[in-house]
Amino acid sequence: MQLSTLQSRHNGQTAIEYMLLLAIVVAIVLVGFRHYIPRSRYETERSFNMMSIGILGAPPVCNKLLDPGDCP
C-alpha cells in the first residue's frame, strides 16, 4: 500500500471515532434531559407559586360572591 492510501484510511478512522464519541455524548445528554426536565419543571412551578403568594398575598379564605354560605 502506498503512504497516501494509509494516511487516507487513518483520517477516515479518526472521523468515524469522533462521530461515535459525539453520538455517545448526545445520547447521554438526551437521557439526562429526560430525567432533569420534569424535575426542574416541578421545582419551577413550586417556586412560582411561592413567589406569587409573597407578591399577591394569601388566597382569600372565602368568596362572598361565589359561595356566600361559607363566609363568616
Report residue 71's pLDDT band, with 50, 70 and 90 as the boundaries. low
Q: State the residue for C-alpha cell 363568616.
A: 72
Report residue 24's pLDDT band, with 50, 70 and 90 as the boundaries. very high
pTM value surpassing 0.75:
no
**Phi, psi for 29 (deg, rounded to 5):** -65, -45
pLDDT confidence of residue 64: 64
